[in-house]
A and B are shown apart, each in its own frame.
Chain A
């Protein structure tokens, strides 16, 4: 078996806000198809890392590679078109569009048909059907005609994921996908995420250790802007440093 290059890598990634170091010499390789959990105490720089990977923040130093390609200099929207998608910790949706329009919009952007204005959206049948299928696969088929702002919070979290999926990502970065969702629903949400096609490499930030150990096959631990360690769930569970900084304490938030 030939060794595939990692789906996403960072090399020496660093970022400071004034005197506060939020990322320091972050070097990671995300092997293809693997479900990664990114954990660490509050303020460890987990969301910052996602922002650096997706280009929403510019690093002070270091590089980001998607497959073999250096994407450090690319704008966020260009990275998305190359196959790097994300969701947001706090719902970042289109409040007055309904879920169908929201996801259809992402499909149209991906296909380049959002430039066209001669024909109505309904004329692009395959785009509409694809949008609907993504929503139906996340159990949003019945509610996709209601404005997003009127959907239940948990459903809005699913729209976040649906939107990211509509870009057909190779790498999917999920920033606390289940934040604010009741436990029973969170489990279903994580099951949906881990059951995604193995062509998609997933990294999710999550505080609930049950979910982390149940759904991740690799765990990356961050603290104070640095990668403390990474490994399989068993390795992480056995690591005394992780236990000390993270698992030993009661989590908050």
Chain B
């Protein structure tokens, strides 16, 4: 039993939500690209955007157990919203981002009424189908979205009228990183709240949730809306930092990739999506430099290896290692004590 547990249930739960040193290290390390790899800030900002997208999926999949193979729908909806707003004359980034989040959140809210009624395979099919619908809608509405040519003419005004989004990605990375951090804080708060506990209850056993009088469907609708909003903000960030939108933002590949990242990093661990996004995006950058055609081969290999040997993802594996190391250090003193008692 841990020291917190001995101090009582209240202290124990408080300790669960406390910030760990490793978390501080992680967030300080996100600043390293500015110093160490200033030529890769564009990549770094893409990583931060993708990490936000993965975090949004983690909230529904990792915490509430809602499977989705069409989460790009919300990413893409946010991306197009930000792009269209900018194209038609309003390029202010913060309000554009808020609009992107609002639009995707509204779509997520409408969708959540269907989502809350299904589980498992049915959900995979529904989200997949929804993703296809949105992709083809964007494809056919060429007058609005630019269709297969992509949306041209997106211009993002300087942030606060001061920081220009340049080719080197300096402002982009700052912008994406701060938005990611703020939404991460929000997510972190959420998962340690009573609502977060209810989400884990839904993931663990939806039948029992009914038998304790839980408002499971209302919870699902709420988290789905929040997740869709965050995905939309991630999409909006991509539009604003790259000043273009292609149909790729709605592609099935994007939904599949973000799922892979989350599984690699570890679902239901808050940092899983972030770590997964870093590994996936950096690996893609490096491998596609070596061999652009076959770069999914190592990703496939890694995915199988992780699922086989680290069921909780990379972070789950790390957590287990730390726990067993602590245990190993406990054993010798324990044996000594037993020998002394004999």
Contacts and interface: CB of A to CB of B under 8 A. Distances in A.
Interface residues on A, range: 35 or more
B1 interface: yes
B210 A108 contact: no
B2, B12, B216 — most chain A CB neighbours (10 Å):
B12
A77 interface: yes
A128 B9 contact: yes
Contacts of A121: 13, 17, 192-194, 197
Given A105-B197, A121-B192, A121-B193, A96 B204 contact: yes
Contact of A145 (B5, B17, B208, B218): B5
B83 interface: no
Given A94-B201, A128-B10, A117 B213 contact: no
Contacts of B219: 114-115
B215 interface: yes
B259 interface: no
B193 A80 contact: no
B204 A128 contact: no
Nearest to A133: B9
Interface string A124-137: 11011101100000
A163 B208 contact: yes
A88 B16 CA distance: 30
Contacts of A120: 13-14, 17, 189, 192-193
B9 A115 contact: no
Majority SS at the chain B contact face: helix
Interface string B177-213: 0000000000001101111111011001101111111
A116 B10 contact: no
A58 interface: no
Contacts of B218: 115
Contacts, number: 141
Interface residues of B, number: 37
Nearest to A95: B204
B208 A117 contact: no
B211 A85 contact: yes
A54, A110, A115 — most chain B CB neighbours (10 Å):
A115
A121 B17 CA distance: 9
Contacts of A85: 211-213
Interface string A162-179: 011011000000000000
A144 B205 CA distance: 18
Interface in B1-30: 1-2, 5, 8-10, 12-14, 16-17
B208 A94 contact: yes
B204 to A, nearest CB: 4
Given A105-B201, A114-B198, A145-B2, A166 B190 contact: no
A118 B194 CA distance: 9
A104 B195 contact: no
A117 B189 contact: yes
B111 interface: no
A77, A96, A120 — most chain B CB neighbours (10 Å):
A120
Contact of B10 (A78, A114, A122, A145): A122
B194 A167 contact: no
A172 B16 CA distance: 32
A163 B204 CA distance: 15
B190 A128 contact: no
B13 A117 contact: no
A91 B222 CA distance: 29
A250 interface: no
A115 B195 contact: yes
Interface string B151-190: 0000000000000000000000000000000000000011
A-B CB proximity, top 8 nearest: A80-B213, A94-B204, A117-B195, A117-B193, A132-B9, A122-B13, A114-B198, A122-B14
Interface of A: 54, 56, 75-78, 80-81, 85-86, 88, 92-97, 100-102, 104-106, 108-110, 113-122, 124-125, 127-129, 131-132, 142, 144-145, 163-164, 166-167
Interface of B: 1-2, 5, 8-10, 12-14, 16-17, 189-190, 192-198, 200-201, 204-205, 207-216, 218-219, 222
